[in-house]
Amino acid sequence: MRLVLPVAPAIRAVRCLIATGLLGAVAHAQGLPAEVEAALVRAKLPRDAVSVLVVDAQGERPARASHRAEVAMNPASVMKLVSTYAALELLGPAYSWRTPVFVDAPVRDGVLTGNLYLQGQGDPTLVAERLWLLMRRIRGLGIERIAGDIVLDRSAFALAPIDPGGFDGEPLRPYNAAPDALLLNYKSVVMTFVADRPNNLARIHVNPPLAGVTIPPTVPLSGGDCGDYRGNLRADFSDPTRVRFAGSFPAACQERVWPIAFPDPAGFAARAVEGMWREVGGQLGGTVRDGLVPAGITTPVLEIGSPTLAEVIRDINKYSNNVMAQQLFLSLSLPARRPNGQDPGGAPSAAAASFEASREVARAWWRERFGTLEPPLLDNGAGLSRGARVSAQALARMLQAAWQSPLMPELMSSLPIAGVDGTMRRNRSRAAGSAHLKTGSLRDVVAIAGYVHANSGRRYVLVAMTNHANAYASRAAFDALLDWTIRDE
């Protein structure tokens, strides 16, 4: 599959320069700054565990610092930069996901006499509030009771079963939630605990409501500091239909929000849809089940749209949302879909979106934009992977291309601002307020990449990655690199 977008001649010329390595050439660049070398020594990290490149964003000068920049490294969540910039170019900043609703029978006296169908098309933003809005809009069609079933069509994505605990043994962590064509609330339930001191208990609010799942409305209060309140609750999630708390909630915590990935991810969507339908006063004669929109039903009775791509990538990059990034990456290969699987000419549509198909789309895009420069190994597009790889040189050249692109404001505004927000909020380097940087971390991996505004007024592209068992210790070295880049005068 080869995707080629029309590109203005000036932009294409810039990209050709980048692809051939003529912008910001790394030849003759110095290696690591002395303060970065010293920080690595203090952290007991070998130099060959680190890759660094600091280069002018416009490519007007040789690189300021270059160390092992051509070596492919695991970038962790920094890989989201590639996925989001590819999506901006291939889908466009105004792109939005649509979730259509179909019916196969008329509504009479408030009763839908057949089935209602929800067709997922990859929307990464169908959180509990938007699911509530969707159910309210269905009620607005005059439907008080559905005599048949609510059918969930999730066929837009072709995905092999994923073990939610397979990556790191943490199946209840929301960041391990698997993508889904009809992804609801990231397959997670959010429990809010609020201390009620006069009654010596904490009240529990659950969102979204889940049909057939019992969660206690209260737990006892206890003394002491807040500390490990989750451990103090002694939660038991072994039975997905009945959550238990054998402990208590420390009164000192006042209010805490605990999101968990639902222990039965395959059944989450059906429970959430039925729970929310009943929450808005809807009745259901049948069940909620998986299925397909029948052939011949082509016109939705309504559809709900997501925020634009430009808005969505802010959540993906600023807060490093893994499942949203995977939804976005899969959407690169999402075919133009119709309810009956046919294209306008009546021929079968392309296969459903898949990771393999999206990787091919991304490779084609990379070849078109950057020629022979080694493409990233994207895996799932989110960086939540042990196999993902990209070089600092490749990332930096992509960021240079983005800087020269009309899409630069959308990408840059999606990045965390050092010392201000997102995953860089607690950064205490001198770069506070002057650097837009995507962060990444896994066991044995720490990485940052983005743009730094130096004291000289120049804008630099900075990429730094560490792959080592003690990678976490390199954070001080990265702060030193940021400070050094800022001091450019």
Q: SS3 string of 289-342?
A: EECCCCCCCCCCCEEEECCCHHHHHHHHHHCCCHHHHHHHHHHCCCCCCCCCCE
Of 141, 385, 184, 376, the C-alpha closest to 280 is 141
Q: Once rounded to an integer, what is the mean pLDDT over residues 135-159?
A: 97
pLDDT number for residue 76: 98
Helix, strand, or coil here: 206?
strand
* In the predicted structure, residue 262 carries a pLDDT above the cut 60: yes
pLDDT number for residue 317: 98
β-strands 116-119, 150-153 pairing:
parallel
**What count of other Cβ atoms lies within 10 Å of the Cβ of residue 133?**
14
Q: Which of 328-337, 417-426, 438-447 has the lowest mean pLDDT?
A: 328-337
Query: Mean pLDDT in the chain?
Result: 91
Domains 9-92+352-486 and 97-306 equal at CATH topology level = no
The token pair at 10 is 């000036």
pLDDT number for residue 1: 40
Helix, strand, or coil here: 485?
helix
Buried b (16+ CB within 10 A) or exposed e, 6-22: eeeeeeeebbebbbebe
Q: How do residues 288-341 score in pLDDT, each as one tens digit?
A: 999 999 999 999 999 999 999 999 999 999 999 999 999 999 999 998 533 344
| Residue 8's pLDDT band (cuts 50, 70, 90) | very low
Of 1, 88, 74, 72, the C-alpha closest to 356 is 1
* In the predicted structure, residue 35 carries a pLDDT above the cut 70: yes
* In the predicted structure, residue 29 carries a pLDDT above the cut 60: no
Of 442, 390, 434, the C-alpha closest to 86 is 390
* In the predicted structure, residue 223 carries a pLDDT above the cut 80: yes
Structural contact between residues 252 and 167, judged by C-beta atoms closer than 8 angstroms: no
Place of tokens 């999630």: 237
pLDDT number for residue 168: 85
CATH-assigned architecture of domain 97-306 = 3-Layer(bba) Sandwich (3.50)
* In the predicted structure, residue 20 carries a pLDDT above the cut 80: no
Q: How do residues 85-111 score in pLDDT, each as one tens digit?
A: 999 999 999 999 999 999 999 999 999
* In the predicted structure, residue 343 carries a pLDDT above the cut 80: no
The pair phi, psi for residue 93, each rounded to 5°, is -65, -20
CA distance 477 to 339: 53
Q: Is the peptide bond prior to 208 cis by the omega test (within 30 degrees of 0)?
A: yes
Q: How do residues 368-407 score in pLDDT, each as one tens digit?
A: 999 999 999 999 999 999 999 999 999 999 999 999 999 9
Distances in Å between the Cα of 367 and the Cα atoms of 101, 135, 222 are: 38, 43, 60
Question: Full-prediction pTM beyond 0.85?
Answer: yes
Q: Once rounded to an integer, what is the mean pLDDT over residues 76-82?
A: 98
| Residue 489's pLDDT band (cuts 50, 70, 90) | low
Distances in Å between the Cα of 177 and the Cα atoms of 129, 162, 170, 181 are: 19, 9, 10, 13
Distances in Å between the Cα of 192 and the Cα atoms of 61, 259, 374, 384 are: 53, 8, 46, 27
Percent pLDDT > 90 in the chain is 84
β-strands 235-236, 111-112 pairing:
unpaired
Could you tell me the residue ranges of all domains in the chain? 9-92+352-486, 97-306
Of 249, 308, 256, 285, the C-alpha closest to 96 is 308
Structural contact between residues 450 and 418, judged by C-beta atoms closer than 8 angstroms: no
pLDDT number for residue 4: 40
* In the predicted structure, residue 349 carries a pLDDT above the cut 60: no
pLDDT number for residue 428: 81
pLDDT number for residue 248: 97
Q: Once rounded to an integer, what is the mean pLDDT over residues 430-450?
A: 95
Distance of CA 193 to the CA centre of its chain: 26
Q: Is 74 left (phi over 0), alpha (psi -120 to 50) or beta?
A: beta
CA distance 133 to 307: 14
Q: How many alpha carbons lie under 13 Å from residue 291 in its C-beta half-sphere? A: 14
What does the DSSP 8-state code read for residue 487? T
Structural contact between residues 213 and 241, judged by C-beta atoms closer than 8 angstroms: yes
pLDDT number for residue 336: 58
Distance of CA 6 to the CA centre of its chain: 28
The pair phi, psi for residue 256, each rounded to 5°, is -140, 145
* Burial group, residue 322, by CB count within 10 angstroms (0-12, 13-18, 19+): buried
Question: What's the angle, vertex CA 356, arms to CA 391 and CA 94, rounded to 5?
Answer: 80
The token pair at 29 is 């660049």
CA distance 45 to 57: 28
| Homologous superfamily in CATH for domain 9-92+352-486 | DD-peptidase/beta-lactamase superfamily (3.40.710.10)
* In the predicted structure, residue 346 carries a pLDDT above the cut 50: no
Structural contact between residues 31 and 472, judged by C-beta atoms closer than 8 angstroms: no
